[in-house]
A and B are shown apart, each in its own frame.
Chain A
């Protein structure tokens, strides 16, 4: 990549990150404003000057203020920078997803695992998660797959047995 192209890619990445931060600040600010209003509906206490909603309102007001300041400073920085290359910016989310496909796969597998652990029980759900996560991350070699399967068995049925028999702690069991 030539020097100007690399410089332009860096600038596009910086602008993309700033825009993502702007979205985060706005989302945080709006959520905090909503919760600030919601906290106002919490009942006052007869026994104390501050009710259940006072401290949260203080915190959410602070959060709104900080989010507004952050969003303003991001907008100011974006305006001060060179004009945006809209085409390059539009391609950023897709590139981000492609670059982080393993992260997304692991999060999806973990989310499904957490959702199913109560229904399938710890051992079966963990075995499934460890196999899916391990096989998506591991190199495609018989040795690696053998390690994945061994670890999956040890951390699912093995860990469950250890907790139940040694610590008397019972991990979730299958329902129904």
Chain B
């Protein structure tokens, strides 16, 4: 084992490999920082460039893009309030208010350090627990997946903001939007009303960009006088306190550990991934906090949870890939394809037949996270320049980036019409104080829930199987507890807010 580890490490630590990894890290960060461009797209674009490289070198470069990409989404989430990737939705909840509150440097630094530690922790777990965790993950059937998704949907109850009903409506709207287009089992068209733009369904990323990016960008220009004066996104002096922030992140070991564990576990489940992990980790951190009401106002714990959670899915996703040859996400499937291009069969025998490759991948993950940290910390000043650009210059430019990102997903013009309508609907909902995060969660989880519900009933039409299978029952009980807990807490918070107002009268 040690020999294989050293052999893999020596290959990864070659100067040329490190240089290429640095390029990959920068590419991943920049791509993910642009709304509409995902980690998956960055990796797809990198894949052909790695064909001429030795297998481990190619993988190391792609892993750098992967790790960099999970952090890059943080930049636009913190500075513009727009999640650069679906995995940074929860980052906007606290990083953006913190940045708007005059501390953009702190918000970015906390996210970067949390991402770094999240990746390191997930790599450690990957090293130790890959085979047993992968075995557990593949034993879960559609009943367990459906129950898990029901549990994940209950997060809606804690993301609702001021009104529980409006939050639930937003979540249900997300589920409803996900039903447009071909049904996920038989491909029958649904609710397209003969409109071409609706026939393929509403692409999740276009909905995400419309709901978060377009509505946020347009609301930036509400104050016409300030916009024409040339007001920038952040007006205060920007301070960097890198090491102080590192200590601040490390002073939250429980949050880091819990969020990274959520990330690893969600990453290890095929089909889940960073887009769910960041919300789940945020939700868990909020529930565990003694001041949950402060979440959403710019607290460090919220940023740490989201960024550690999404970055840890990178290591988690490699668990089923390495141990069983099952890609957990689109990115893992591309990594697998790159190995297959080199004639390497991924599966349980990989770690026995090519241990230096597998250990090399582990070392690559660590090196990639160090490179990501170095790139982010050294280029933070450049990223932060974004906040100094006047709104009149940045708003149209980012809207064009959103358009390009939406088009480049499927090369479909009709996706752009969807973007326009969803952007407008997102702005209206935002103006009426409907929370947008539950809507996005509904769109992500809807198809997974429907597929697994129908698959489980196809296998066994008995509904009681959801309660008789222990893991499924456990998730469902957890879902009920989660809802009850959230409702009780929400009522208490409403009563506490109403209390001081009533006193004077």
Q: Residues of A at under 8 Å CB distance from B?
A: 17, 20-21, 24-25, 28, 32, 35, 38-39, 42-43, 45, 47-50, 52-56, 59-60, 62-63, 66-67, 69-70, 73, 99-103, 106-107, 110-111, 113-115, 117-118, 122, 126, 129-130, 133-134, 137-140, 144, 147-148, 151, 155-156, 159, 163, 167, 169-172
Contact = CB atoms under 8 A, between A and B. Distances in A.
Interface in B373-406: 390-393, 395-397, 399-401, 403-404
Nearest to B182: A52
Contact of A137 (B391, B419, B434, B457): B391
A59 B179 contact: yes
B393 A138 contact: yes
A87 B54 CA distance: 75
Nearest to B183: A52
Given A28-B173, A56-B190, A159 B404 contact: yes
B424 interface: yes
Given A102-B224, A110-B399, A156-B400, 4 more contacts: A39-B191, A55-B449, A138-B390, A159-B400
Contact of A117 (B166, B403, B411, B429): B403
Contacts of A60: 176
A134 B393 CA distance: 6
Interface residues of B, number: 63
Given A62-B172, A101-B224, A171-B404, A56 B395 contact: no
Contact of A43 (B188, B228, B403, B413): B188
Nearest to A117: B416
Q: For the complex, would chain A's binding face be called helix, strand, loop or mixed by DSSP majority?
A: helix
6 contacts: A59-B172, A103-B427, A118-B416, A138-B393, A155-B400, A169-B408
The 7 A-B residue pairs whose C-beta atoms are closest, nearest first, are A137-B392, A133-B396, A52-B183, A56-B179, A48-B458, A55-B450, A138-B392
B423 interface: yes
Nearest to A45: B186
Given A43-B188, A133-B399, A107 B176 contact: no
A42 to B, nearest CB: 6
B169 interface: yes
Contacts of B218: 103, 106-107
A123 to B, nearest CB: 11
A60 to B, nearest CB: 6
B417 interface: yes
A81 B227 CA distance: 36
B450 A48 contact: no
B74 interface: no
Residue of B45, B179, B186, B461 with highest tally of chain A CB at under 10 A:
B179
Interface in B294-324: none
